[in-house]
Amino acid sequence: MWEYTDKLKDHFFNPRNVGEIEDPDGVGEVGSLACGDALKLTFKLDAKGKIADAKFKTFGCASAIATSSVLTEMIKGLTLDEAAKVTNKDIADFLGGLPEQKMHCSVMGREALEAAIENYNSGGKKKHELEGNVICTCFGVTDKEIERVIRENNLTTVEEVTNYCKAGGGCGGCQSEIEKIIEKIQGDKITEVPVSALRRAGKLTNIQKIQLIQQTINEQIRPALRAHGGNIELIDVDGNKVIVAFRGMCARCRLTEFTMKDVVEAKLREFISEELFVEEDKESAQQPHNHRE
Amino acid sequence: MKTIYFDNNATTKVAEQVLEEMVPLFCELYGNPSSMHTFGGQIGRRIKRAREQVADLLGCEPSEIIFTSGGTESDNAAIKGTLAALPHRRKIITTRVEHPAVLTVCRELENHGYTVVEMAVDKYGRLDLVELEEQVDDDTALVTIMYANNETGVVFPIEKIAELVTDRGAVFHTDAVQVMGKIPLNLSKSNIDLLSLSGHKLHAPKGVGVLYVRKGTRLSPYMLGGHQEAGRRAGTENVPGIVGLGKACELAAKNIEQENSKVKYLRDKLEHAILENCPDSQLNGDKENRLPNTTNISFEYIEGEAILLMLDKYGICASSGSACTSGSLEPSHVLRAMGVPFTAAHGSIRFSLSRYNTEEEVDYTVEKMPQIVNQLRKLSPFVAK
């Protein structure tokens, strides 16, 4: 059970400003049903350019609903310039704190607010668009967004980034990318040894090399394939030739060739040796368990 | 406020009669059954009796019962113990809807070079036995498939599966923690080789479980140390837990009829009324082949954790397959394996009943549920105005 503050519970059980403003000056919609939470924020300005009214509709857990409710309270009476300065931390603080794993709810609130302001500034035309390159495909989080939560909340681990914006919380395939972003921003503040620490040693024995290949497949490759219903198995290692078999969805996927070169080979080369190359085991591709579903 | 407990697939109340049996074993009869003195030695008889009580419920020999610390240990011991005993076989078959105590273990073994096949299920949560048959080959060491699903209550045709698997020379294990006391078993007439059960799911305390090992099944011990449990599970026996579990099995045998009549009646009433009174709600799972105590219902456009908190305000305890309740960000792997849309999976609620539930509790919940759903839908951006 989550530890929620009384204030959060109050805003969940008695949410303020529920609904949609008719003919609003700004509309911000973020999140989706698939992601597990979504927020639609609408506001209306008064003659002096201050937010006269704000309303929300939220699909999500108790903390998503409470952060939305509290956000509408916080921004009323602010000018748009003032509102634009509200951070996710401000929202969480206003509720007396949020459980770490729920911080993404406060980020969603801030994103919706931004989207609504953006929408107003574009004369009601602009819908919220993702900025930057998508890093986490499971939850559609971009590098810009990840960089921002890291800066604003002084995050130093992948787990924290996941708590704040969900990135890396699905298949986990992008965790090493997130690590690189953290490293870029935080530099020497990082105390934990990253999971993708360079393991490439000088000269490897055959046994060490095979173990490292298996480990790289386990940690770096399989999670990403699994997310798409697929899998990979290490069949054999012959010199620099790594023989693998694709299972599940991957076995029937026309992108196998791409996956093999772009994902498997690239990762093995990054972590072990530039000389490695990958081949698919044709024999095991004939076995019945490659053609399931 | 009165607590209405509809979360019996998570854990159950310890039966009063079970507790009574256990109490003397803490401060009076606290000896170690392995000791040479009478004070300790007499405890052995209590364990023997508990073993017989469990064997009676399962329809097996007492010597086929190993006491463990719970369902998770039993699953780990069954899977790893079988693989260690059959080192030349490298394939494991399981399903995508297993409990993490099985699924996580299998996925970890994959990292050690085992081939793991996770069988898919259809939209009702059912397995394709023809496909399973094709999968079991000479390299298959173990097939591990749950008896009934903890989230949906869907029951697999385990006897048929056990026969099919063992005919092909593989070992068959089933996690039956949700089934005990709900479905009658007779393991002497079954092809099941290994079966896990857990005390706290059938009104015994937490921290005790059983692994049934059919006579002649090769299994390497998983927990090493002393000679307890005939050398098959080391560690000083959890005597009060074991005695409590024995009593709980005795009671379960007596109450199995009630589980399938009274509990099932209450479950059906609850389920029917909720589906009837809450628009855009749907049942998850196989209506026909199901545990008598479990129902899993999805409510569109709203999220499970929020529903649970609203229920909690009325003292009603249930659980959800939503991402937010688990601390992970993805909804239930069981519902996703069944192809339940994300939208419905996020808004799924499981009610699991026991013989301690009453009709008043069901009626009260039926009254509150539509209010809660309506209240949350008023907040949802996905509900048309």
Does B347 reside within a domain? yes
String of DSSP letters for A191-232: -SPPTT-----SSPPHHHHHHHHHHHIIIIIHHHHHTTTEEE
Contacts of B181 (CB under 8 A, 6+ apart): B57, B202, B203, B249, B252, B253, B255, B256, B259
State the Cα angle at A234 between A228 and A236, rounded to 5°. Answer: 155
Q: Are residues B229 and B292 in the same domain?
A: no
Output phi, psi for A230, to 5 deg: -110, -175
Q: Are residues A117 and A140 in the same domain?
A: no
* Number of residues written out for chain B: 385
pTM: 0.87
Is residue B175 domain-shared with residue B300, that is, in the same domain?
A: no
Average pLDDT of the segment spanning B229-254: 96
Beta-strand ranges (E) seen in B226-367 are 281-283, 294-299, 316-317, 319-320, 348-352
Instruction: Examine the pLDDT at A293 and tell me if it is beyond 50.
Output: no
Distance CA A198, CA A100 (A): 29
Longest Cα pair distance anywhere in chain B, in angstroms? 77
Co-location of A182 and A210 in the same domain: no
Q: Could A18 and B113 be called an inter-chain contact, meaning their C-beta atoms sit closer than 8 Å?
A: no
Q: How far apart are CA B103 and CA B301, in angstroms?
A: 30
Question: Most A CBs within 10 Å: which of B303, B307, B373, B375, as the mutation test of the A interface?
Answer: B303
Contact B113 A214 (CB under 8 A): yes
At A131-178, the pLDDT tens digits run: 788 888 888 889 998 999 999 899 999 999 999 988 888 878 788 889
Centre a 10 Å sphere on the Cβ of residue B224 and count the other Cβ atoms it contains: 10
- The answer on A244 and A162 residing in a single domain is no
Which of these, B338, B337, B310, B306, lies nearest to B322 by C-alpha position? B306
* Residues A45 and A114 occupy one common structural domain: yes
């994902």: which residue's tokens? A263
Query: To the nearest whole angstrom, how far is the Cα of A169 from the nearest Cα of chain B?
Result: 6
B371 touching A (Cβ < 8 Å): no
B353 is a domain residue: yes
Q: What is the CATH number of the domain that holds A280?
A: 3.30.300.130
Amino acid at A43: F
Range of the domain at A277: 206-290
Instruction: Tell me, yes or no, whether B206 and B137 share the same domain.
Output: yes
| Residues pairing with A247 in the sheet | A231
- The CATH number covering residue A173 comes to 1.10.10.1100
Do B228 and B83 reside in the same domain of the chain?
A: yes
Confidence of residue A291 (pLDDT cuts 50, 70, 90): very low
Residue B369 corresponds to which tokens in the numbers above? 């549920």
Statement to judge: residues B291 and B231 lie in one domain = no
Residue B384 lies in a domain: no
Is residue A176 assigned to a domain? Answer: yes
Residue A198: inside a domain: no
Residue percentage of chain B with pLDDT more than 90 = 92
The pLDDT of residue B330: 81
Residue B75 distance to chain A (closest CA, Å)? 22
Q: Which residues of A are catalytic?
A: 35, 105
Place of tokens 């080369």: A269
B233 and B278, same structural domain?
no
Q: Which pair of structure tokens corresponds to residue A73?
A: 């309270």
Residue B248 lies in a domain: yes
Nearest-angstrom CA–CA distance, A242 and A266: 12
- Taking alpha carbons only, the member of B198, B178, B213, B195 closest to residue B245 is B198
User: Does one domain contain both A105 and A149?
Assistant: no
Which of these, B252, B255, B242, lies nearest to B22 by C-alpha position? B242
Separation in Å, CA A111 to CA A114, A141, A184, A281: 5, 12, 23, 47
User: Are B30 and B113 contained in the same domain?
Assistant: yes
Structure tokens at A15: 């949410």
The answer to whether residue A67 sits within a structural domain is yes
Partner-chain residue, chosen from A15, A214, A293, that has the shortest CB–CB distance to B120: A293
Identify whether B227 is part of a domain: yes
φ/ψ (deg, to 5) at A19: 130, -165
Distance CA A210, CA A66 (A): 51
pLDDT for the residue numbered A289? 47
Q: Residues of A at the B interface (Cβ-Cβ below 8 Å)?
A: 12-13, 15, 18, 20, 29, 33-34, 36-40, 57-62, 64-65, 101-102, 138-139, 162, 166, 169-170, 214, 218, 222, 231, 233-234, 247-248, 288-289, 292-293
Check residue A191 and give its pLDDT.
58
Whether A31 is covered by a domain: the verdict is yes
| A244: enclosing H helix or E strand | strand A241-248
- Which amino acid is located at B203 in the chain? H
Which of A70, A93, A121 is the C-terminal boundary of a domain?
A121
What pLDDT does residue A93 have? 95
Burial class (CB in 10 A: 0-12, 13-18, 19+), A182: buried
Spatial distance between the Cα atoms of A167 and A136, rounded to a whole number of angstroms:
5
Computed over every residue of chain B, the mean pLDDT equals 95
With a CB cutoff of 8 Å and minimum separation 6, the contacts of B225 are B234, B235
Percentages (nearest 5) of helix, strand, coil residues in chain A? 45, 20, 35
pLDDT of residue A34: 75
Where do the DSSP E strands lie in B138-293?
140-144, 171-175, 194-198, 209-213, 281-283
A67 shares its domain with A154: no
Does A200 map to a domain?
no
Specify whether B32 is located in the same domain as B178: yes
At A292, the pLDDT band (50, 70, 90 cuts) reads very low
Strands annotated E in B243-340: 281-283, 294-299, 316-317, 319-320
User: Both A173 and A141 in a single domain?
Assistant: yes
Q: Tell me: do A247 and A156 sit in the same domain.
A: no
- Taking an 8 Å cut-off on Cβ atoms, the answer to whether B342 and A34 are in contact is yes
The verdict on B246 and B259 lying in the same domain is no
Cα A176 to Cα B12: distance, rounded to the nearest angstrom? 42
Q: Which residues of A touch B349 (CB under 8 A)?
A: none
Q: Please give the helix or strand (H or E) that residue A279 lies within, else none.
A: strand A277-280
Q: Is residue B379 part of a domain?
A: no
Separation between Cα atoms, residue A113 and residue B188, nearest integer Å:
65
Q: What beta strand segments (E) does A33-160 contain?
A: 37-45, 51-59, 134-136, 141-142
Residue A197 placed within a domain = no
Partner A contacted by B130 (CB < 8 A): no
Evaluate the CA torsion angle B265, B268, B271, B273 in order and state its sign.
Answer: negative
CB contact under 8 A, A18 and B379: yes
My answer on whether A160 and A96 are in the same domain is no
Domain range for B298 is: 4-10+255-373
Same domain, B129 and B205: yes
Q: How many domains does chain B have?
A: 2
* End position of a domain, from candidates B199, B234, B252: B252
Quick: pLDDT tens for A193-224. Answer: 555 544 555 678 888 889 889 988 988 888 87
Q: How near does any CA of chain A get to the CA of B361, in Å?
A: 23
A238 & A161 share domain: no
CATH number of the structural domain spanning residue B274: 3.90.1150.10
List the Cα angle B49/B52/B58 in 5-degree steps: 150
Last residue of a domain, one of B252, B271, B304: B252
Residue B385's pLDDT is 53
Whether the CB-CB separation of B34 and B379 falls below 8 Å is answered with no
pLDDT at B263 over 90: yes
| B382 located within any domain | no
pLDDT at residue B69 tops 70: yes
**Percent of chain B's residues with pLDDT above 70:** 98
B208 to chain A, any CB pair closer than 8 A? The answer is no
Q: Is A146 part of any domain?
A: yes
Q: What is the pLDDT of residue A171?
A: 79
- Strand A51-59: give its sheet, edge to edge: A26-32, A37-45, A51-59
In this complex, the residue of B118, B135, B381 whose CB is nearest that of residue A38 is: B381
Assign residue B195 the CATH number of its domain. Answer: 3.40.640.10
- Tell me the residue type at A139: F
Question: Do A170 and B330 make contact, defined as CB atoms within 8 angstroms?
Answer: yes
* Residue B36 CB partners (closer than 8 Å, separation 6+): none
Residue to mutate among B128, B168, B309, B332, with most A CBs inside 10 A, is B309
ipTM, 2 dp: 0.88
Per the CB < 8 A criterion, the answer to whether B127 and B118 are in contact is no
CATH of the domain at A79: 3.90.1010.10
Question: Does residue B297 share a domain with residue B343?
Answer: yes
Amino acid at B348: S
* Residue partners of B265: CB distance under 8 A and separation at least 6: none
Shared domain for B320 and B229, answered yes or no, is: no
Residues A106 and A46 in one domain: yes
Domain boundary among B252, B270, B301: B252
Q: How many domains are contained in chain A?
A: 3
Say what the pLDDT of residue B212 is. 98
Contact A88, A149 (CB under 8 A): yes
Q: Of A94, A121, A148, which one is at a domain's C-terminal end?
A: A121
Tell me if A194 is assigned to some domain. no
- Which of A10, A20, A59, A67 would best serve as a mutation to test chain B binding (most B beta carbons within 10 A)? A59
Compute the distance between CA of residue B340 and CA of residue B210 in angstroms, rounded to an integer: 33
Whether residue B355 lies inside any domain: the answer is yes
Give CA angle at B264 (B375, B242), nearest 5°: 105
**Domain co-membership, A175 together with A218:** no
